[in-house]
Structure 1
Amino acid sequence: MRAYLFLFLLLAGCANTHPKPGGSYLGLLAMTGITYHLFLDNQGPAPVLYGVTFKADPLPLDTIYFKGDSLHFRMKEYYSEYKGRFDAGANRIEGIWIGEDSLAHPLVFQAVMPDTVSGLHPRSSPGYTYQKPALMGDGIKTDTREAQKLSPAVMDSVIKHLVNGKYKDVHSLLVARNNELVVEEYFYRFNRDKVYNIQSATKNVVSALTGIALEKKELKSTQQTLCTSLPGYEKWACDEKHKNITLHQLLTMSTGIAWDEQTYDYGDERNTLVKAASDSDQFVHLFLLPREIKATPVFAYNSLNHILMNAVLRHATHMENKDELTTRLLQPLGIEKCYIDEPTPMGAIGDIGLRPRDMLKFGLLYANQGQWNGQQVVPAHWVAESIRPKIQPRPGLGYGYFWWTKDFEFKGKTVSSFFAWGYGGQYIFVVPALQLVVVMSGSHWGTDPVDQGIPIMEEILKAVEE
């Protein structure tokens, strides 16, 4: 009997020498240019790993398991593997991630409460209490919803819809009326200091810079051609097929070049932009595609167009894009925290990143005909011209010079709006007749964000009182 008892205690002791972690853990994986946030949920029957850098997405692992006190997982698609060991005393998992770059990256998972993890849940509590936005000394004035005639009950309903999942992956919502910020809400544990890649809303910034360059006579007009505006590419831009492509066509997505980046998602190799990205010189790739000119211009959304326009501006202004952007827009608007893409191999920059309040500044700039704090930053006539619809991409939507336009129903009448739209749910809506500016940021990848942004705007408009 004593022998059996001794054996039982020995086996129990051996089992306890390799305790397995329970609960939730957050790991920060520092790679080149970005830190990935990984959330390990080990509360269920099997561990699950999520990427929560922007929102919670289960990672496509081929395998994940604990063996004793060791954690193993692997992603064949990205040639990546992790091996870590659980430290029971510190309640953390320490290990090494071997990435597709074949380099060893330290990755430590620390114990966390799930409700403290950015990107995992919209809010830790479904309840909502309104607070007037804070004055931050950034040039943005604030007020209450009631003072600016925005229905508290309707706006509370909008916030609840962002929290309960009716609208997915919205990280921030800012609403200004009569130049006063009255709603400033953040979700998924993000805050006002988060800098977002505004994706294709960058095009609207490039549109503003184009108007400034025209005012300074650095560009002649929107009718000048790429042939005369793109040094180094004359072989392609000035051939018979492309010699009459104008800046107007570039700004309105109507060059006639065969391009389709809206039928397929950006992870699909059939997407034209994905194909172009594999070439070292995407401009040459673009010029080698077929081109067809029709009597009525055809809209074909092309994410290379604003990079082409940046290349034109770089030549016309004799400034690097970063310097031009900083001196002509960021500094006048008092925008100090942002990021700017490194120049592409073609010399021009791609996207930029802004905080939501700085996105709001850009919207207020256009709501006030290009003025900010009494300074005319963007020419008023260019603001008016760039937001005037010139082509119809789809029923119910217009397009100006890199600006989308839409008419909304409002209390039995129609009000016009224009908006910047970036992939994933980055928006700047302006409704001039109502002195309304709305900003959203998010991570609504893989779907058409217009389908979500417009219904949110329709709900917000119901809150506006005349």
Structure 2
Amino acid sequence: MGINTQLKTLLLSASLSALVSLPPAHAGQNNRQDQAPMASAKEAKIKHWRVPNSELKFTDISELKTAFIDSTPAAKQDGIAVGKLGLDAGNNEQIVALAKEIAAGKHGKFDSLLIAHRDKLLFESYFSRGRIDLPHPQSSASKVYISTIVGRAIQLGYLTMADLDKPLVSFLKNLDPSRFTKGAEKITLHKAMLMRSGIRISDEQAEKFRQSSPELKGQGLLQAYLEASAPITEASQSFKYQNDPMLVMQVIEAVVPGSAKKFIKTELLDKMGISNYGWSTHPVSGLPGDASMTSRAMLKFGKLAMNNGLWNGEQLIPAAYIARATDRLIYPNEAEIFGGGEAVSNQGYGYYWWGTDLTYDGKSYASASAQGGGGMYIMLIAELDLVIVVTAHERENTTQQLIAERILPAFVSQPDKLASH
């Protein structure tokens, strides 16, 4: 995904205090073959890649002795319907063979692989540091959650679709426009969600802004960015993987009642039945930053998008917004794209969603995906009604190629079987 060094440093230095975290009770790690592995009481406290000044780190989670591979996922009363791979749809043997290869370390350091078809979870597996009840760091997949929050604000009337094309600074009343760099008004919500704000600051300034101080809290950080940036021009507003989601979160904080933190919980996660998660606080602005989600929670976000914003009969996100967010609105250059392969082409970008064509047997299937460094994916393949979730760590990003080579064939060659039983 082309995450630059500056952004990586910022992510790693982020304060990781959880926005909310309500894990279930734990009786210790369970590695029985017939039950998905659970986190120990100690591991359940871990919500992010690392917790500063603490011994609790995601990297310290013990490796599973035995991978968990399940073609008949258990119903958990968590709002996720389940089915049987090979009976409802798909080729059980092909997917299980892939999972066994993952367990043997042939495809990098996967932590989980889940596959849902027609709203039913048909396959669930955990490897390495994966646990069914442990929120996994999302890295840049967190951006899709921010995009979803914008959609929720639009659904509730705190923003409109037309507002997407308004200057971002028009929503923020605590700024001093007289000190902005030239062209600051060219930054719209639309462009910020395409990673095209055009803000360009030096490494020295970026390092300075990583040092928290009272004047940089809240909208103060954006004020500092807009003062220090080079002029915002058409040329500078090219795709660049940087801290643009922070700009969008500033708008959410400004337009919703209460706070962005409360809004995320009550108007989105509570609605979706997601209570076991982590959401860090940005170390400078004090606003919500990066998220950690369980694999099943990730699946819920995929299902929400696949169903055009509808959740349990309630329209949480406007369908028109979902369509735009998951569309390929721009096509970044190759230097900004991370992960590909012979069967992966036409990679584009929407509102923090990536779009890709995956090819199998001469036919291309359009996909949309949340992507996070280290190997996090929520992938939608609408034509096949598939939602695929992957969590991983420290691995080469060949996931899209692997999906094209090994998961597409299992569903293309095995059509939906619901009509036959």
Category of TM-score, reference length = shorter chain = 0.7 to 0.9
| 1:418-441 CA-partner distances (Å, limit 9, x unpaired) | 011122222110111100001111
The 10-residue stretch of structure 1 (275-284 or 337-346) with the greater mean CA deviation from structure 2:
275-284
Q: Which residue of 1 aligns with 2:83?
A: 143
Q: Is the 8 A contact 1:252 1:400 kept in 2?
A: yes
Give, in whole Å, the separation in 1 of the partners of 2:95 and 2:187: 46
Q: 1:384 aligns with which of 314, 323, 342?
A: 323
Q: Does 1:399 align with 2:349?
A: yes
Matching of residues 302-341 of structure 1 within 5 Å: 302=242, 304-341=243-280
Distance change >3 Å, CA 225–CA 290, structure 1 → 2: same
Q: Could you say which structure has the larger radius of gyration?
A: 1
SS at match of 1:311: helix
Q: Is the 8 A contact 1:236 1:242 kept in 2?
A: no
Distance change >3 Å, CA 277–CA 154, structure 1 → 2: farther
Gaps of 5+ in 2: 1-15, 19-42, 45-51, 335-345, 416-421
Q: Is the 8 A contact 1:226 1:237 kept in 2?
A: no
Give, in whole Å, the separation in 2 of the partners of 1:285 and 1:306: 16
Q: Is the 8 A contact 2:186 2:232 kept in 1?
A: no
SS at match of 1:184: strand
Q: Which residue of 1 aligns with 2:376?
A: 426
Q: Is the 8 A contact 1:200 1:423 kept in 2?
A: yes
Q: Which residue of 2 aligns with 1:133?
A: 73
1:453 CA displacement: 2.0
Q: Which residue of 2 aligns with 1:172?
A: 112
Distance change >3 Å, CA 276–CA 106, structure 1 → 2: closer
Q: 1:456 aligns with which of 366, 383, 402?
A: 402
Return the letter of the residue paired with 1:326: K
SS at match of 1:428: strand
Return the letter of the residue paired with 2:65: S
Q: More helix by proportion, 1 or 2?
A: 2
Return the letter of the residue paired with 1:461: L
| Greater RCO (Cα-Cα under 8 Å, separation 6 or more) | 2
1:306 CA displacement: 1.5
Distance change >3 Å, CA 106–CA 276, structure 1 → 2: closer
Distance change >3 Å, CA 259–CA 409, structure 1 → 2: farther
Q: 2:154 aligns with which of 214, 224, 235?
A: 214
1:199 CA displacement: 2.1
1:224 CA displacement: 1.0
Q: Is the 8 A contact 2:132 2:294 kept in 1?
A: yes
Give, in whole Å, the separation in 2 of the partners of 1:382 and 1:416: 18
| 1:319-352 CA-partner distances (Å, limit 9, x unpaired) | 3111111122111111121122235432421012
Q: Is the 8 A contact 1:338 1:352 kept in 2?
A: yes
Give, in whole Å, the separation in 2 of the partners of 1:225 and 1:409: 39
1:284 CA displacement: 4.5
1:192 CA displacement: 0.5
Distance change >3 Å, CA 240–CA 297, structure 1 → 2: closer
Q: Which residue of 1 aligns with 2:358?
A: 408
Distance change >3 Å, CA 173–CA 271, structure 1 → 2: farther
Q: Which residue of 1 aligns with 2:3?
A: none
Q: Which residue of 2 aligns with 1:361?
A: 300
Q: Is the 8 A contact 2:17 2:279 kept in 1?
A: no
The 10-residue stretch of structure 1 (339-348 or 414-423) with the greater mean CA deviation from structure 2:
339-348
Give, in whole Å, the separation in 2 of the partners of 1:258 and 1:379: 32
Q: Which residue of 1 aligns with 2:390?
A: 440
Q: Which residue of 1 aligns with 2:210?
A: 277
Q: Is the 8 A contact 1:252 1:402 kept in 2?
A: yes
Distance change >3 Å, CA 278–CA 148, structure 1 → 2: farther
Q: Is the 8 A contact 2:348 2:356 kept in 1?
A: yes
Q: Which residue of 1 aligns with 2:144?
A: 204
Distance change >3 Å, CA 129–CA 290, structure 1 → 2: closer
1:205 CA displacement: 1.3
Q: 1:227 aligns with which of 145, 161, 169?
A: 169
Q: Is the 8 A contact 1:314 1:321 kept in 2?
A: yes
Q: Is the 8 A contact 1:118 1:188 kept in 2?
A: no
Matching of residues 73-88 of structure 1 within 5 Å: none
Give, in whole Å, the separation in 2 of the partners of 1:214 and 1:129: 39
Q: Does 1:370 align with 2:317?
A: no
Q: Does 1:188 align with 2:136?
A: no
RMSD: 3.2
Give, in whole Å, the separation in 2 of the partners of 1:236 and 1:386: 33
Q: Is the 8 A contact 1:237 1:243 kept in 2?
A: no
Q: Which residue of 1 aligns with 2:284?
A: 345
Give, in whole Å, the separation in 1 of the partners of 2:140 and 2:410: 28
Distance change >3 Å, CA 228–CA 292, structure 1 → 2: closer
Instruction: Give percent identity, aligned residues only.
Output: 27
Q: Which residue of 1 aligns with 2:65?
A: 124
Give, in whole Å, the separation in 1 of the partners of 2:197 and 2:381: 29
1:189 CA displacement: 5.3
1:384 CA displacement: 0.7
SS at match of 2:74: coil
Return the letter of the residue paired with 2:261: K
The 10-residue stretch of structure 1 (404-413 or 214-223) with the greater mean CA deviation from structure 2:
214-223
Q: Is the 8 A contact 1:251 1:305 kept in 2?
A: yes
| 1:202-235 CA-partner distances (Å, limit 9, x unpaired) | 2111111212222333224111112212232334
Return the letter of the residue paired with 2:410: A
Matching of residues 149-160 of structure 1 within 5 Å: 149-160=89-100
Q: Is the 8 A contact 1:297 1:391 kept in 2?
A: no
SS at match of 2:164: coil
1:360 CA displacement: 0.5
Q: TM-score, normalised by structure 2?
A: 0.73
1:259 CA displacement: 6.8
SS at match of 1:463: helix
1:368 CA displacement: 0.6
Q: Does 1:252 align with 2:198?
A: no
SS at match of 2:190: helix
SS at match of 1:364: helix
1:301 CA displacement: 1.1
SS at match of 2:367: strand
Q: More strand by proportion, 1 or 2?
A: 1
